[in-house]
Amino acid sequence: MFDFTGKTAIVTGAGSGIGEAIALELAASGAFVVVSDLDEEAANRVVAMILDRGGKAEGHAADVSDPQAMERMVAFAEAETGGLHLAVNNAGIGGPQNPVGEYPLDGWKQVIDVNLNGVFYGLRYQIPAMERAGGGAIVNIASILGSVGFANASAYVAAKHGVLGLTKTAAMEYSAKGIRVNAVGPGFIATPLLTKNLEQEVLDGLAALHPIGRIGTSEEVSALTCFLLSERASFITGSYHLVDGAYTAQ
Ligand code: NAP
């Protein structure tokens, strides 16, 4: 549906779930995709799928919570293809589930490091690369929990709210330079983040929280993300876009 021919994209956390679906759709739409993940084997599995389908991709192992790794990831994309045009800061973790008064201090630090600092480190190096390339578009994967609370998930909720502030500020700073920055807020989505950790009964309970009556798919998040990255979204920047089956409409 989109045409990203000639564009280079980085997707973090692209070895699984939502990131994997976005990497596959970007590549199917003509982009060269740097499939980045903590888990090198998972990244290479997604690269193999892209190459099998006739697309272009390279895997790159990187921890988003390590600023030097983010600098190397962007340098890798530029060295491989000559420039960076698109980025999706998607890598994220769930973290511990406790009320604030009992929340583990190391768990708090880890979630903020990956889900908030990781997005900043991505932007910190992607934006100068996009300036060198003459412009670009970035999507930060936040959550419905970027705008509403959720009991026992304070670090995750705080990090995702922070991602919205970062997105708005970066968009204000760089829109005149041809770089658009938006955030996407998925409801609960059927990915390993959810399905490997939760019993079916809990998943059914989460589905019931969405007026649409089910949880979403990674492809539904990818469709919105690819639209925001595309030229069809040329006047859209600095905003937060939900894909949540009316979860937050209630
Ligand atoms: P997922 O299936 O667990 O995929 C996340 C990927 O990120 C995994 O491959 C994971 O590797 C990788 N990762 C974890 N920590 C990383 C790090 N420090 N550096 C680089 N990569 C790292 O999760 P998902 O559901 O697709 O989530 C993707 C994004 O969507 C996250 O930001 C999440 O918060 C957001 N989101 C998800 C949902 C949902 O219901 N699923 C809803 C709203 C928002 P390992 O497997 O090795 O850890």
The CA R_g of the chain, rounded to the nearest whole Å, is 17
**How far, rounded to the nearest angstrom, does the alpha carbon of residue 144 sit from its chain's CA centroid?**
13
**At which residue do the structure tokens 């982009």 appear?**
31
Enumerate the domain spans of the chain: 8-249
Residues 22-59: tens digit of each pLDDT: 999 999 999 999 999 999 999 999 999 999 999 999 99
- Helix 67-81 crosses helix 118-133 at what angle (to 10 degrees)? 30
Which residue puts its alpha carbon closest to atom 6 of ligand 1? 13
- The pLDDT tens digits of the residues spanning 110-137 come to 999 999 999 999 999 999 999 999 999 9
pTM for the model stands at 0.99
Hey, which bits of the chain come out as E strands?
8-11, 32-37, 56-61, 86-89, 136-141, 179-186, 240-243
Buried (b) or exposed (e) across 144-154, using 16+ Cβ within 10 A?
bbbbeeeeebb
Active site residue 156: yes
CATH class of 8-249: alpha beta
Nearest atom in ligand 1 to 215's CA: 40
Q: Which residue is closest in CA terms to ligand 1's atom 23?
A: 193
Please list the residues that pair with 141 across neighbouring strands: 184
